């Protein structure tokens, strides 16, 4: 999947998710803002209530999306024959899409009113989604290959040096690359100050690239296209050095994240199964 196709791939997920939220909120806003006592008198009650045609359907579709998102991604990680189909990171992005839009549909299924054991499942779902966002942030801090597998330091350095040779920069700018490889490299970073390092790097990168662009305009040693490539290379170099610095810390943090994320997911799905079983026992079978 090339860069433009990947942007389209991600963009389609964003459009579908955002459009679904706006559409559902726009068409049901008048109903959702009513109190529980008044809702039965609304013309939309039979459609949008949790057991209504639309409300029930949203619950079913949302549940299927969440279950599918988990099963698909876990299968891709565990079954070797699936490893030949696409990159792992693309499967992860599809997993995130299904497990983000699915809970959104579940939210509208509840009609923004929930209690009892279902409330436990709902808040567990919210915890899973929030921890998923945090997990995604941690995940992208760990350097990886194109296939999405964890990359070792030798691989990262080899890829970087290859790009550097291909660019064939003038000696004037090679010093700028060396600056990013001095004290920062392989620096031991704790969990507490890793976030501080990332924030500091963001502002350092902006100022550093700004100064480089000034240097290019003054020296005129390379043309505009090469200058753009150089800026990108410097940016990638800084991100690479930061990720190498916090590699062991992020791996440890990712391990802690699994301990937090998994129990909430298990609770959510267990109560979901109980909830579905109860609705079937009481005859809520949607349109079937």
pLDDT in tens, 138-190: 777 666 554 555 555 666 667 667 766 666 666 655 665 565 554 454 455 66
Decide if 59 is inside a domain.
Answer: yes
- Give the domain extent around 87: 3-149+251-281
In a domain, 145, yes or no: yes
How big is the chain, counted in residues?
A: 288
> What per-residue confidence (pLDDT) applies to 186?
45
In a domain, 27, yes or no: yes
The rounded radius of gyration (Å) of the Cα atoms in the chain is 25
In a domain, 111, yes or no: yes
Q: Say how far apart CA 26 and CA 44 lie, in whole Å.
A: 13
Same structural domain, 179 and 219? yes
212 in the same domain as 122: no
Asked if the structure places residue 166 within a domain, the reply is yes
- Please work out, in degrees rounded to the nearest 5, the angle formed at the alpha carbon of residue 284 by the alpha carbons of 278 and 288: 130
- Residues 254, 246 contacting (CB under 8 angstroms): no
Statement to judge: residues 29 and 139 lie in one domain:
yes
Q: Is 44 helix (H, G, I), strand (E, B) or coil?
A: coil
Which structure tokens are listed for 199? 């924030």
Q: What is the SS3 assignment for 123?
A: helix
- More confident: 206 or 70: 70
Residues 229 and 170 in one domain: yes
The yes-or-no verdict on residue 107 having pLDDT over 60 is yes
| Mean predicted confidence (pLDDT) in 196-207 | 73
Q: Do residues 84 and 139 both lie within one domain?
A: yes
Per the confidence metrics, is the pTM higher than 0.75?
no
Q: Are residues 9 and 127 in the same domain?
A: yes
Domain assignment present for residue 288? The answer is no
Category of 286 on φ-ψ map: left (φ > 0), alpha (ψ -120 to 50) or beta: left
Q: Are residues 26 and 126 in the same domain?
A: yes
How far apart (Å, rounded) are the C-alpha atoms in residues 103 and 187?
39
Chain-centre distance for alpha carbon 273: 26
pLDDT at 65 over 90: yes
What is the count of structural domains for the chain?
A: 2
């Amino acid at each position: 999947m090339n860069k433009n196709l990947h942007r389209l791939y991600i963009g389609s997920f964003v459009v579908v998710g955002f459009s679904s939220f706006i559409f559902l909120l726009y068409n049901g806003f008048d109903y959702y803002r009513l109190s529980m006592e008044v809702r039965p008198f609304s013309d939309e009650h039979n459609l949008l209530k949790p057991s209504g045609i639309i409300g029930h359907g949203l619950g079913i579709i949302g549940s299927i999306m969440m279950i599918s998102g988990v099963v698909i991604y876990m299968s891709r990680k565990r079954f070797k024959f699936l490893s030949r189909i696409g990159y792992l990171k693309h499967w992860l992005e599809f997993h995130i899409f299904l497990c983000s839009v699915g809970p959104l549909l579940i939210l509208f299924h509840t009609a923004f009113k929930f209690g009892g054991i279902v409330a436990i499942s709902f808040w567990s779902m919210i915890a899973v989604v929030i921890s998923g966002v945090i997990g995604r942030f941690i995940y992208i801090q760990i350097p990886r290959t194109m296939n999405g597998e964890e990359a070792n330091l030798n691989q990262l350095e080899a890829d970087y040096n290859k790009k550097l040779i291909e660019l064939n920069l003038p000696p004037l700018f090679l010093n700028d690359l060396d600056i990013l490889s001095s004290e920062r490299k392989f620096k031991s970073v704790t969990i507490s100050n890793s976030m501080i390092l990332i924030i500091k790097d963001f502002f350092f990168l902006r100022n550093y690239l700004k100064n480089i662009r000034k240097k290019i305009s003054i020296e005129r040693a390379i043309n505009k296209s090469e200058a753009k490539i150089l800026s990108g290379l410097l940016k990638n170099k800084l991100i690479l050095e930061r990720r190498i610095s916090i590699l062991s810390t992020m791996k440890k943090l990712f391990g802690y994240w699994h301990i937090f994320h998994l129990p909430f997911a298990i609770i959510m799905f267990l109560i979901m199964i109980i909830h579905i079983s109860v609705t079937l026992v009481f005859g809520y079978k949607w349109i079937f």
